[in-house]
Amino acid sequence: MSGHVFFTTELEGVATYWSIKRRDGMCLGFTSHNRDLVIDSVRYRSAPGMIPSAIRRTAQLERDTVEVEGVLAHDSISAEDMEQGRFDNARISIGLVDWETLEHTSLFHGELGAISQRDGSFEAELRSAKARLEVDVVARTSPTCRAAFCDAACQLSASRFTHIVEVSSIDLENNRVSFSAAPAPANILHGSIKWIDGPHAGMTMQVIDADAAGIVFDRPISSDIGAGTRAFLREGCDHTLATCNARFGNAANFQGEPHLPGNDLLTSYPTSSS
């Protein structure tokens, strides 16, 4: 970051740069210049086909939006990685850089939103930090628990319900995986897995089905996964009071209102039997 003021002269060497920090820890840098640039010890790869089509910044509370479109010119931004969700909610920073002095300034910070692909190109919506203002500051009532399993509100120990497992068999047709030494299927449902190694290393997937035949995830499993691939398997919770009490003995920390009357109470009327 510098105090350099851009576009003050008729001829100036200015390029766009942007960094992408994925949730799995990978950091990628790109620039619209025709050669790589090193800014603050980070190498920004030349990708002149990638351009920000519009950057809108206001003083209003509504979120600022940016659109980026370009060509999939690098293996680090592959269609397969986007389909697997590696770029979901990645942190984005966009700015301007003088390619001769490397003086630079940031224009936008936010997260990746919806990503679409067409004919080898991609378009991505970028959400600014203002999007956080749209989150409800007061929790809404719900019959199920609002806390995430093993978070600060739940107060259960994450390590107690997290297991290191290894792949024992794979059913690619049904996107189903079996693990050795895995907990009972009923305890895995609604849980998650974070891969330690293999083609999905660093990725987190949600469990949408689990039975004696194996576990089904919310994302496609790579055909390159082999037996012995390791992962952290987190058990799940259906967020009901009955499960919280009977399985975990944690009803005191239940973050819901299971006995609160629903909206149908407003439309009910007395009858002779009542």
pLDDT digits (tens, 9 = 90+) for 126-144: 776 666 666 666 777 889 9
For residues 196 and 182, what is the distance between their CA atoms, to the nearest angstrom? 16
Cβ pair 144, 262 in contact under 8 A = no
Tokens 């907990």, residue located = 183
For the chain, which ranges sit under pLDDT 70? 1-3, 48-76, 114, 116-125, 128-137, 262-270, 272-274
Cα angle 23-70-19, degrees, rounded to a multiple of 5: 35
Pick the closest to residue 24 from 272, 172, 201 (CA basis): 201
Q: Give the pLDDT of residue 72.
A: 46
For residues 217 and 46, what is the distance between their CA atoms, to the nearest angstrom? 36
Q: Give the pLDDT of residue 120.
A: 60
Q: How far is CA 159 from CA 41, 151, 163, 166, 231, in A?
A: 36, 11, 8, 17, 14
Structure-block tokens of residue 150: 């093993």
Q: Give the pLDDT of residue 71.
A: 42
Residue-wise pLDDT for 63-77, tens only, equals 555 655 554 445 567
3-state helix, strand, coil in the chain (%, to 5): 15, 35, 50
Q: Give the alpha-carbon dihedral of 146, 152, 153, 158, to 10 degrees.
A: 70
For residues 215 and 165, what is the distance between their CA atoms, to the nearest angstrom? 12
Q: Give the pLDDT of residue 41.
A: 87
